[in-house]
Amino acid sequence: MLDIRPEFVAANVEAADAVAVITLLAGRLHAHGVVAATYGAATLEREMEHPTGLPTNPFPIAIPHADADGVIKSSLAMASLKEPVLFKNMADPDEDLSVELVLLLANNNPEEQIQSLRNLSLVFGQPDKLTELRSLTSPDEIARWLDAELNTA
């Protein structure tokens, strides 16, 4: 079960690049005590080695994450972007993707992380779900939607 709160959601964000978005989201999780201060740096380091951009339809998304170290409570933060930022494609690290939604995943259990990534892939493999999520504008609505889609078994 992922902790998904309105405080973890940044809507219509203006960000210079992927680093800025990951730093913003990790900072929100840290401010609410669900990850250690080092989680953002660990996520950025992992992103350089193992990119998380996904060429989903109708637009690309990214699901940056790091190992369980520093995760106090399994959580999900999200940013919808005013203008897309570039993330490297998970399947082809030489390819840049113009990402519109960034979902920062923090799991404190490696097995749970695999399941969370699977759940995210199932939901976001559906173009209508991505369009619906992107149409939401308030952090409350977005958090409620994510909770309903990802935390119901």
- pLDDT confidence of 151, banded at 50, 70, 90? confident
- pLDDT confidence of 131, banded at 50, 70, 90? very high
The total number of structural domains that make up the chain: 1
132 within a domain of the structure (yes/no): yes
20 within a domain of the structure (yes/no): yes
86 within a domain of the structure (yes/no): yes
Which tens digits make up the pLDDT trace of 45-103?
999 999 999 999 999 999 999 999 999 999 999 999 999 999 999 999 999 999 999 99
Q: Which range marks the domain in which residue 92 is found?
A: 6-150
Q: Rounded mean pLDDT of 121-138?
A: 92
Which tens digits make up the pLDDT trace of 25-46?
999 999 999 999 999 999 999 9
**Which residue has better confidence, 132 or 113?**
132
Q: Rounded mean pLDDT of 140-153?
A: 90
15 within a domain of the structure (yes/no): yes
1 within a domain of the structure (yes/no): no
| Both tokens assigned to 134 | 């992107």
Q: What is the CATH number of the domain that holds 60?
A: 3.40.930.10
Angle at which helix 139-150 crosses helix 110-124, to 10 degrees, equals: 110
Q: What global pTM score does this model have?
A: 0.95
123 within a domain of the structure (yes/no): yes
Is the separation of the CB atoms in 73 and 113 below 8 Å? no
Angle at which helix 18-31 crosses helix 39-49, to 10 degrees, equals: 150
Predicted local confidence at residue 153, as pLDDT: 52
68 within a domain of the structure (yes/no): yes
Q: Rounded mean pLDDT of 98-110?
A: 94
